[in-house]
Every structure is written in structure tokens, then in C-alpha cells.
Amino acid sequence: MVPNTLTVLYDSTCALCVRCRDWLSKQEAFVPMRFIACGSAEARATYGAVPWLGEELVVVSDYGDVWAGPAAFITALWALREWREWSYRISGPELAPLAQRFINAISSNRRSISALIVPDPCEGDACRVPRAYR
């Protein structure tokens, strides 16, 4: 089933992820997306059954389909007007392994990358870091 809306469960404690969320929300989309911090009470209450919650990017469709990790990144790209073609391209047989490694590398190093690009990422409430997440 083709999703009508997507819920993106992102890591609000990582500056890189917050930037990516901002970028995503500014793009023109075929499918509207709503963003929920994966550590929030709402996310835990509603999507607690998703085993990857908090570890990987998770995207959930309005039909309850769940994508996690690289598949979630690509599904988020798929929602965007300008990037839908690329979502098919990089999930094809030639580029998929590369894309997957790239996304995994970014995702698992997101804290160190955040530290590199933003010396002080946490202004305001959006990026308050619970100790456990550092």
C-alpha cells in the first residue's frame, strides 16, 4: 500500500539528526511527514513495539508499515518530490550495498559527526541531551 503520510522517528539528541529533520521538513514532499523525537513519551507510547526505536532512524506509514535504518532513510527520500528518483536509484542492485554502508556509517557515527559540525549543538529545548544518550 502506498503510504499517505509518514511518521519519522528521529533522534532529537543529535544535532546532525535535527539538521536532517529541518532539511526534510523544508523539502517539497509527495507524502507529508510528521516528525517525532524517538526518545519522547509519545514515541514510546505509540511506537514502543518497534525494536529499532532509539537506535536507528524509524519511519512508520499511516498503514503501520515500519522501515528502519537505511530503509528508513530511503523511504524518507522517497517522500520528497526532488528525491524520489534518487530513492529508487540508490536502492537498486548496484548502489544499494554502497548506500547502506554509507547510511550505516553516518548513522552509527552521528554523535561524533554532530560534535564536528556543531561545537555547541544544544540551544533551546529541542536538543537537550539526556545523559544516557551521549
Question: Which residues bind to other proteins, rule: CB under 8 A?
Answer: 1-3, 30, 46-52, 56, 60-61, 63-71, 74-75, 78, 84-85, 87-88, 91-93, 96, 99-100, 104
CB of 20 to other proteins, least distance (A): 18
Closest-CA residue to 31 (of 70, 55, 11, 1)? 1
Residue 10 parent element (H or E): strand 6-10
Instruction: Say what angle helices 110-117 and 15-26 make with each other, to 10 degrees.
Output: 80
Choose between 71 and 122: whose C-beta lies nearer to other proteins. Answer: 71
Nearer to other proteins, 15 or 68 (CB): 68
Say how far residue 59 (Cα) sits from the centre of its chain: 7
Smallest gap from Cβ 32 to other proteins, in A, equals 13
Q: Which is nearer to other proteins, 76 or 127 (CB)?
A: 76
CA 98 centroid distance within chain:
18
